[in-house]
Chains A and B, each alone.
Chain A
Amino acid sequence: MSKLLEIALGIVTGIGGFLETGSLATSAQAGAGFGFQLIWAIALGVICIAFLVEMAGRLAAVSHHTLPDAMRERFGIRFFLAPLVAVGLVSFLVLAAEIGGVALALQFASGVSYRVWALPAAAAVWLLLWKGTFGVVEKGASLLGLVTIAFVVGAVRLHAPLADVVAGLLPTAPEHDPARYWFTAVSIIGASVSPYLFYFYSAGAVEDEWDEGYLGVNRATAALGMTFGGGIAVAVLACAAMVLHVRGIQVDRYEQIPLLLSTPLGRAGFWLFVASLGVACFGAGLEIALQLAYLVAQGFGWRWGENLRPREAARFTLVYTLALPLAALVSVAGMDPLKLTVISMALTALSLPVTVVPLLVLMNDPLYLGEHTNGWISNAAVLAVSVIACIVALVAIPLQLMGS
């Protein structure tokens, strides 16, 4: 019974925790720009992240190692510096985008500029990390994130055609603007396959003291949580296709995105959007700040743990204490939140091989996984998506940046 409860809670956490500023903005851009045509990119990202999350959980449950810890031990500190820098950099950019998302939600609600809200938003994240426990951070934020189900209600109210949604699962060539099409596709994949998700998950599994008895829970949580979470991203895309694409509106600013819910749900839809953006970004901000601290502390072998008092893991605490105000300063400086979000998602896709390949090597090492090493399907799926996303990003990012 308790295992079933764990699975249910894990799925709810997956649903509530999936949508954040990256998946929200990129799905909205995709739906507005290309109708239902880019649903395949969400599906590809969801398949990849479900495999990666399952692997990270399995590694933690079987070897009792977190990802950075195992990487440093297996490859040595010099090699570990490459994923440390890559994951650290993209996570910092994504953290800046999430803080910007919280600040924008507050701007939409109050009329006061997001640049004013950025530092208070970061301070609120910091306070909860300082005072809260791992359970509060993980479960609390994700449960509140269930407000994002409003997008599914919106898509149903708009009568999004199921046939078009299903047809969008098959990749097709763009009818116009190929550079923007491929750039949006890699941004969607980057948003879905954010390294913070599986690094955070592996640390969480160790914090929750998982053992081999949790392998079934892990598999169900990864597969169902990510699939249902991806369903919400598809709903965002469908709302954008039905509200914006049909009117010839492309998403160039965040101010256009609340229309996705206000059109089908009226004034309540507007407030549901503000709550979705604020809560989803706040939850993601908590997880990313914590994941940055995990990454550095575990990588260098420092004492770590969100369930410890700050003074018991001082260097771990120092990492998120420094990262949060720095991330907020990006918004204070006036960087366009939508550009920051989309570029950080594309860079995430670009960095995938650096973050994913060492994990795959670990997952095939019987010294860590015993009889639970990867099968060929998971190896092939993750490697293929990562390499393809990286190659497309290599071509699409310069084209998009120079084109705009």
Chain B
Amino acid sequence: MRRGRVFAHRVALLGAVAAVSACGKSPEARAKEAAATLRSWQATARLVEEEHARGALPREFAAQAARAAEQGRAKAEQQLRQASSP
């Protein structure tokens, strides 16, 4: 009974260690992720502009979405700079 409990604790500890160690992303991985997010926000801004231009989005919402894209882009650029700096 006691041995079973010790085994269960060890398995749980191993799982936690594996999870935490897997979370430490390399700078390259972080930079790649930030670049993908940046491209995503740039594409969002383009699509919002196109949709607004053809009248598919009301002006009020197009402004909200453009603002969100701008904030997302700025955040991704900052993350990219942090990941690229030594």
Contact = CB atoms under 8 A, between A and B. Distances in A.
Interface of A: 107-108, 110-111, 177, 243, 247-250, 252-253, 255-256, 258-259, 262-263, 266-267, 269-270, 394-395, 398-399, 402-403
Contacts of A403: 23, 25
A252 B40 contact: yes
A252 B23 contact: no
17 contacts: A111-B63, A248-B39, A250-B36, A250-B40, A253-B68, A258-B57, A259-B44, A259-B47, A263-B56, A266-B55, A266-B56, A267-B58, A394-B15, A398-B23, A399-B22, A402-B20, A402-B23
Contact of B19 (A177, A247, A399): A399
Interface of B: 15, 19-20, 22-23, 25, 33, 36-37, 39-41, 43-44, 46-48, 51, 54-58, 60-61, 63-65, 68-69, 72
Contacts of B63: 111
Closest 9 CB pairs of A and B: A402-B23, A255-B68, A111-B60, A262-B56, A255-B65, A266-B56, A250-B40, A247-B43, A253-B68
Contacts of B58: 267, 270
Nearest to A107: B64
Contact of B44 (A249, A263, A266, A402): A249
B37 A399 contact: no
A263 B51 contact: yes
Q: Which of A248, A253, A262 has the most CB of B within 10 A?
A: A262
A113 to B, nearest CB: 10
B57 A267 contact: yes
Given A250-B36, A255-B64, A267-B57, 6 more contacts: A111-B63, A247-B46, A249-B43, A249-B44, A250-B40, A259-B65
- Interface secondary structure of B, over-half rule: helix
Given A111-B64, A256-B68, A259-B48, A267 B56 contact: yes
A270 B61 contact: yes
Nearest to A398: B19
B74 to A, nearest CB: 13
A50 to B, nearest CB: 32
